[in-house]
Structure 1
Amino acid sequence: MNSFNKRTAVRIALVSALLAALASPVAWLVTYKRTEDGTVWLALDESRRLLHHFGAITLSGMDADDKARKAADALAGGLFDIAEIYNQEGVKLAQAMTEEGKAIEEQLPSHVRPIYRAGFHERFRLEDKRWVLRVFVPLRGAADTDRITGYFEGVRVVPTWQREQMRANALSAALMVGFASLVCGTAIYPVVVRLSTDNERKAREILDSHLSMMEALGRAVAMRDSDTGAHNFRVAWIAARIGERLGLRDRAMQSLIVGSFLHDVGKISIPDAILLKPGKLDAEESKIMHTHVAHGEEIVSGIGWLKDAHAVVAAHHEKWDGSGYPRKLSGEAIPLAARIFAVADVFDALSSKRPYKEPMSFETTMSILAADTGSHFDPHVMAAFRAIAREVFNRLGQCNEEDVRRLLEERVRFHFGI
């Protein structure tokens, strides 16, 4: 199992466990409440049936007390341990209790004369930990359902077996919900892994095609500029090493690498007479040459995945003191990627062999860079590069174009996650 699959498995397991931990108590509470409500509604239905049977719904007339007493006696000892019946003024007409009801009566909270218009129930725990349900039922005559004719109040001590059954039902529901959460997580894992693998493969294919196009553009520029193409690989690799030293990661590092590789892409639009002129350019020719920056911006801005190269392409000729072009930016107004590239570009130009020059020594190259630090180069970037400059010089001195291509490919695959 690779690292991604392990992370996915751990995350799905954690989410499944969290869902089970959250959903199970909720399922327990909901099931327990429903079971309790079922008990209450059963008691209410039974009480209404018996009250109707004994004619204790309409509590008026000379025999109202007798009807109420008979109904209370029937209700006590059945579903209720205490049964009380009141008339419509809230005066108690009858009360009946079982032995258990007598034992708990003093522990029940007292209440005012009944005046409620809708039925409800309460539940509370006795001193001996037993649960008690207390129901309150307004009585209405069949002919006039809106007029209250009396009240029934019943108390039921929930027996141990019923409490255990309620808890068992609630626990079963909680366990089922928790188990379902874990099973869903287990079922989802292979689907997520497969989709992620497919997405990763497609992303690699797309990225490989993008990098191939990037390399083709870089080679096209290098061929027009009488270079071997190794320059683009070297400066992109050097810039990546400096960026790593400065702590760049992810998108910032990707932008630095692509921008460094395509820094001169705008030279494609420069006429050969100027681009390949062996001597020094005159003022008008220099002006045209400088337009390669604007042309490069247009090229990378028109291709979505290359837009991250814009910072280097647009500002790779700016200088720390503001004397560069095309916008004469200075200091930290110059994008960091462009400031990093400036050091990498000049270092490579001085220390590598070109068709028109021999390479300079490490000491001479670094002395020139040091002299231009604070005017051309960002001192902070130079400080980071100075720590790795000797290693970079020695490594590149042993590489041909194919070797440096592999060096850059290694950093590309690392920072692009291929």
Structure 2
Amino acid sequence: MRTNFERRTAVLISLVSVILVSITSPIAWYVATEEAESAIVSLANEETERLLAYYHVLDFSNEISREGAQQAADILAGGFFDIAELYGASGEKLAEAMTPSGAKVEDQLTKHAMPVYMESSYESMKLPDGDWVLRVFVPLHFVKSGSESLAGYFEGVRIVPDWQRRQITTTAFTAALMVALASLICGAVLYPIVVYLSKENRRRAKEVLDSHISMMEALGRSIAKRDSDTGVHNYRVAWVATKIAEAIEIPKDSMQPLIIGSFLHDVGKIAIPDSILLKPGRLTDDEMELMRTHVDQGESILKGIGWLDDASTVVACHHEKWNGTGYPRGLKAESIPLAARVFAVADVFDALCSKRPYKEPMSFEQSMSILIRDSGSHFDPDIVKVFEGIALGVYKRLDGIAENEAKALLQERVNYYFGL
């Protein structure tokens, strides 16, 4: 079964192939038509020069050439061209001949001044009656005394016959079709290559991400075990924070730093002595001051580690309070980052419901009464209100849960938000 990526890739490559076909096929048609016209003109030039040379009409200064000009024009008009005109070097018309078909289209051709051009050229015209006409302009030269001089001008009009039109159309169509097929084949060949490279890239990215998450878990567990002899708190609180964030519809791209920050929120406690960290009784003012340094310690640990940088917001601000009495910066209300406000509710709820060295777990009702009491002082009241709607389900899902079960809960969310 194709993945969403493979379906999108197939659609995009097909779209690009169609666009290429729509661009390149008309170009190929145009180029093939131009080349066919140029070939006709080149052939006309060669035949004209050969015939004029045969009748010694390349030097109009002598009377013999002037007499041969009309004869050459008659032959040209009866052969490759429908209208043949010969002009002298000063632009005066010396001879003209045309077929009945040429006479029929002559009035439809645009008139022009006396010829003065120095290079061969041609015009391709579609006349109102449907005829396709090629009009050729050729400067004529002759060599005298070792130097080349302008002898005059030849202008010929060819009405492209049906068979030649069909031939040109067939050639142009074949060229356009070949370009179209090449574009489509290119797309068909590129698709499996792109899919393979993407899968390989995703596999490698997943390996890197897996290693990052494993490192995150190892770091989080090492800190949690110093604090509570278990890593379950980090899994629980990160999962609860994710559920709250989903309930308030935090953007999906903000979930990764929230999960990482929640899991590593207490990473700074690695710098706190066990005598303070595991003290069962109330901390003294000096001990509390030292304990509070874990926030700055944690922020400094995560800062500069690229994939952990965004997570430092939760680590740095998870002890700030809605009324501005928190630490370390005394931030107030919405100046506290949203992720930190979400985490504060999840952290305190899990701490109240969990057994710690200094306390027994509280009941759901006791825990919620404290959250509601401190709503508007410690916690963002809007987040507490949203949490009230999901709190009982969260509590029941986590009550008595083992570490491996909590890990599985979080892993499912990690897989979703990290694209594993």
TM-score, L = length of structure 2: 0.93
In structure 2, the residue matched to 1:39 is 40
| Secondary structure of the corresponding residue to residue 317 of structure 1 | coil
Q: Contact between 2:120 and 2:139, CA under 8 Å: does it hold in 1?
A: yes
Deviations 1:383-413 (A, max 9, x none): 4323322221222125232222111011011
1:100 counterpart = 2:82 = no
Determine if contact 1:351/1:365 at 8 Å carries over to the other structure: yes
Task: Note if contact 2:58-2:65 (Cα within 8 Å) is conserved in structure 1.
Answer: no
Which SS does the other structure have where 2:228 is aligned? coil
Q: Which stretches in structure 1 are left out of the alignment for 5+ residues?
A: none
SS in structure 2 at match of 1:122: strand
Matched ranges for 1:356-371 at <5 A: 356-371=358-373
* Residue identity in the other structure for 1:18: I
- 1:390 aligns to what? 392
Q: Which amino acid aligns with 1:131?
A: W
Indicate the larger mover: 266-275 or 108-117: 108-117
Change (3 A) 1:229 1:246: same
Q: Which residue of 2 aligns with 1:22?
A: 23
Q: Which residue does the alignment assign to 1:298? A: 300
1:155: how far off? 0.2
Measure the CA separation in 2 of the matches of 1:249 and 1:262: 21
- SS of residue paired to 1:353: coil
TM superposition shift of 1:196: 1.8
Checking the alignment, whether the CA contact within 8 Å between 1:86 and 1:92 is kept in structure 2 is yes
1:244 alignment partner, SS class:
helix
- Given the two structures, how large is their TM-score scaled by the length of structure 1? 0.94
Name the residue aligned to 1:2. 2
Give the match for residue 203 of structure 1.
205
Q: SS at 1:58's partner residue?
A: coil
Secondary structure of 1:135 counterpart: strand
| Partner Cα distance (1:355, 1:291) in 2 | 20
3-state secondary structure, aligned to 1:116: coil
Secondary structure at the aligned position of 2:96 is classed as strand
Evaluate the alpha carbon distance shift between residue 88 and residue 292 of structure 1 in structure 2; reply closer, same or farther with a 3 A threshold: same
Aligned length: 418
Alignment partners' CA distance in 2, 1:146 and 1:232: 96
User: 1:321 Cα shift?
Assistant: 2.5
Which whole-Å CA distance do the structure 2 matches of 1:145 and 1:225 have between them?
105
Amino acid at match of 1:128: D
Q: What does residue 344 of structure 2 align with?
A: 342
Alpha-carbon spacing, 1:145–1:290, altered in 2? closer, same or farther (3 Å): farther
Q: Point out where structure 2 has 5 or more consecutive residues left out of the alignment.
A: none
Matches of 1:302 and 1:417 in 2, distance apart? 24
SS of aligned partner of 1:148: strand
- CA-CA distance at 1:168 after TM superposition: 0.8
Q: Tell me, yes or no, if the aligned pair for 2:55 and 2:65 is still in contact at 8 Å.
A: no
Aligned-residue CA RMSD (Å): 2.0
Does the CA-based 8 Å contact 2:73-2:97 persist in structure 1?
yes
Aligned to 1:408: 410
Write the distance in 2 (CA, Å) between the matches of 1:122 and 1:383.
80
Indicate conservation of the 8 Å contact 1:140/1:149, yes or no.
yes
How far off its partner does 1:350 sit? 1.7
Q: Percent identity?
A: 56
Task: Look up the match of 1:184.
Answer: 186
Q: Tell me whether 182-191 or 54-63 shows the greater mean CA deviation.
A: 54-63
Amino acid at match of 2:77: A
| CA positional deviation for 1:67 | 2.8
Contact 1:57-1:141 within 8 A present in 2 as well: yes
Residue 174 (str. 1) matches residue 158 (str. 2): no
- Cα deviation for residue 175 of structure 1 reads 1.1
